[in-house]
Copies of this chain bind each other. A is one copy, B any other.
Amino acid sequence: MRARDLVSDFPTVTLDTPALEAARLLADRDLPGLIVVDDRNRPLTILPGTQVLRLAVPRYCQDDPALARVVDEAHADAFMRALGSKTVRECMPEQPRELAIAGSHATVLEMAALMARIHSPLVAVVDSGRLVGAVTLRALLDHVLAA
């Protein structure tokens, strides 16, 4: 069993997708994350759901729980709404990190180790660099538990 056997279609966003639209896509379709592709359908990054949420949280609150605690609720709602004026481009992680991308020949174990290591509930599957689809944690667990 390889990535190509577990892969399924997965919606994508681009750098120009409004952040609010990206967040709605995630919520409405109950996705584990989002795949950001370039104009040639090559994955640029994979954003787990928790990192899409990061788009809506002011940076100074992300690393300091005390600040998030003292910002009152009216302000918090305003911050959340600030999503609407950003695009995915402005929300990309600053530091490059290992990406949740695997070739179509990747083994189940390889994908499981990747998901566990980088905390990503989905892996983008590529063939010659182009996106084929995604393997979700759910699909992988279903396969493992049925084995």
Interface, chain A (partner B; CB < 8 A): 1-2, 20, 23-24, 26-27, 30, 32, 48-51, 53-54, 56-57, 61-63, 65, 68-69, 71-73, 75-77, 79-81, 83, 106-110, 112-117, 119-121, 137-138, 140-142, 144-145, 147
Contact of B109 with A61 in the complex, beta carbons under 8 Å = yes
Q: Is the interface of A mostly helix, strand, loop or mixed?
A: helix
Q: Which residue of B lies closest to A108 (CB)?
A: B76
Count the copies.
2
Complex Cα spacing A57 to B110, Å: 9
Q: Which residues of B contact A81 (CB under 8 A)?
A: 147
Complex Cα spacing A54 to B116, Å: 5
Contact of A112 among B1, B27, B57, B110 (CB under 8 A): B57
18 more contacts with CB within 8 A, not counting A27-B145, A53-B141, are A2-B73, A27-B138, A30-B138, A50-B115, A50-B120, A50-B121, A50-B137, A51-B119, A53-B137, A65-B114, A65-B117, A68-B107, A68-B113, A73-B107, A76-B107, A80-B109, A80-B147, A81-B147
Name 7 A/B residue pairs within 8 A (Cβ), A-sorted: A20-B145, A51-B116, A57-B112, A62-B117, A65-B110, A71-B107, A121-B121
